[in-house]
Amino acid sequence: MPALKVTAPAKTILFGEHAVVYGHPAIAIPVNQLKTTITIQPNPWGASNQITIHAPDIGLSTALEELPNQHPFSTAFSVVMQHLGMTTYPACTVKINSTIPIASGLGSSASLSVALIKAFSQFAGADLPSQTLIDLSFQLETIYHGTPSGIDNSVIALNQGILFQKGKPVQALNSAKPLPIVIANSGVAGNTKQAVAGVRESWQHNKPYFDALFQKIGSTTWEALQALENGDEIRLGQLMNSNHRDLQTLRVSHPKIDRLVETALKHDALGAKLCGGGLGGNMICLIHAEQAGEIQKALMQAGAAQTYLTQVESREI
Ligand code: MEV
């Protein structure tokens, strides 16, 4: 059995986070500058089911069987074993690395889930179709995030821009031209589970108000899809700003995120918003390519911990 290496990207949400949990559409893209990498080396002299895990980023080096059942590594392993109907697994050493900042809204946990499912299944000789990869990684996401929409693991498993709506087939993004996006990490740890739970609590207290707000975010997303297809980055920027104001109303932004959004706009970004679960984490802004250096510098001066340059592009699913 040969050694194996798999990767899974990070992601960012361009439009529609939170509303997507309530059945509205959202647009997400993979961020391949950041990724989870898993390598599996066979141990030809080891006994079956002897699996060693090395995850130096979190200081973990252990036998898989020593981990609690609820640990992401153990859960991913059992989900794959169950799906493939296997009871024994070849002895191996699994090394897990990630360059995705955690608690940042960039999908570190979904990327880990997808990479683990891909690695454990491929090492066992199974090349899972993307829908199976999405379904199995969603099982992990529900364990860690309570009531996720499924957008994070879908965009990461497909590794391409998507329009996602719960219960509907995923649609490939069709952007008329590549659109540069700067991502800035506020350095404040976000908490998607807490943010999603907080929004649910608000919704439960005033359903008509929040349903209308989710509906408005959904309409913004549909309009953004049109603007992407038409290559209308001016309108796209305006829609991003509107989406950010709605996320502020949902109380999932953070003063540091708002400061970074204001900084980007002051430096003539076309639009800017929080991305992902919020309460910290990252923001994104849509820019003209030639502005990248200046805007990244301004965001760092305004307190960003890190910035990344990526772009929206089209590929077939
Ligand atoms: C998290 O990346 C996006 C949220 O909409 C939650 C979800 O869709 O599961 C906040």
Per-residue pLDDT of 153-163, as tens digits, reads 999 999 999 99
Q: Which atom of ligand 1 is nearest to the CA of 277?
A: 10
Q: For a ligand 1 pocket test, name from 140, 151, 244, 279 the mutation site with the most ligand atoms within 8 angstroms of its C-beta.
A: 151
Name the band, by pLDDT with cuts 50, 70 and 90, for residue 38.
very high
* pLDDT over 90 percentage in the chain: 91
List pLDDT tens digits, range 239-252.
999 999 999 999 99
**In this structure, which residue's CA is closest to atom 9 in ligand 1?**
148
pTM of the model: 0.96
User: Higher-confidence residue: 315 or 172?
Assistant: 172
246 C-alpha vs ligand 1 centroid, how far in Å? 15
List pLDDT tens digits, range 142-186.
887 778 999 999 999 999 999 999 999 999 999 999 999 999 999
30 C-alpha vs ligand 1 centroid, how far in Å? 14
**CA-to-CA distance for 26 and 20, rounded, in angstroms?**
6
Q: Which atom of ligand 1 is nearest to the CA of 199?
A: 10
pLDDT at 315: 63
Q: For a ligand 1 pocket test, name from 11, 12, 13, 250 the mutation site with the most ligand atoms within 8 angstroms of its C-beta.
A: 13
Query: Which residue out of 152, 232, 246, 258 is catalytically annotated?
Result: 152
Name the band, by pLDDT with cuts 50, 70 and 90, for residue 18.
very high
189 C-alpha vs ligand 1 centroid, how far in Å? 15
Nearest Cα residue to 15 out of 308, 235, 279: 235
49 C-alpha vs ligand 1 centroid, how far in Å? 35
Name the band, by pLDDT with cuts 50, 70 and 90, for residue 316.
low
92 C-alpha vs ligand 1 centroid, how far in Å? 34
List pLDDT tens digits, range 65-109.
999 998 999 999 999 999 999 999 999 999 999 999 988 889 999
Residues 6+ apart with CB under 8 A from 210: 199, 202, 203, 250
Q: Which atom of ligand 1 is nearest to the CA of 147?
A: 9
> CB–CB of 170/162 below 8 Å?
yes
- Kindly provide the b/e burial profile for residues 108-138, where b requires at least 16 CB atoms within 10 angstroms of the residue's own CB: bbbbbbbbbbbbbbbbbeeebeeeebbbbbb
Average pLDDT over residues 211-222: 98
Q: Reduced to 3 DSSP states, what percent helix, strand and coil does the chain have, rounded to the nearest 5?
A: 45, 25, 30
Q: With 60 as the cut, is the pLDDT of residue 121 above it?
A: yes
**Residue 246 a catalytic site member:** no
Average pLDDT over residues 35-45: 97
Count of CB atoms within 10 A of residue 281's CB?
29
pLDDT at 145: 77
Q: Of 192-201, 211-220, 237-246, which gets the smallest average pLDDT?
A: 192-201
pLDDT at 136: 97
Q: With 60 as the cut, is the pLDDT of residue 273 above it?
A: yes
Ligand 1 pocket by Cβ (under 6 Å): 13, 17-18, 20-21, 105, 148-149, 151-152, 192, 196, 276-277
pLDDT at 103: 83
What is the chain's mean pLDDT, rounded?
A: 95
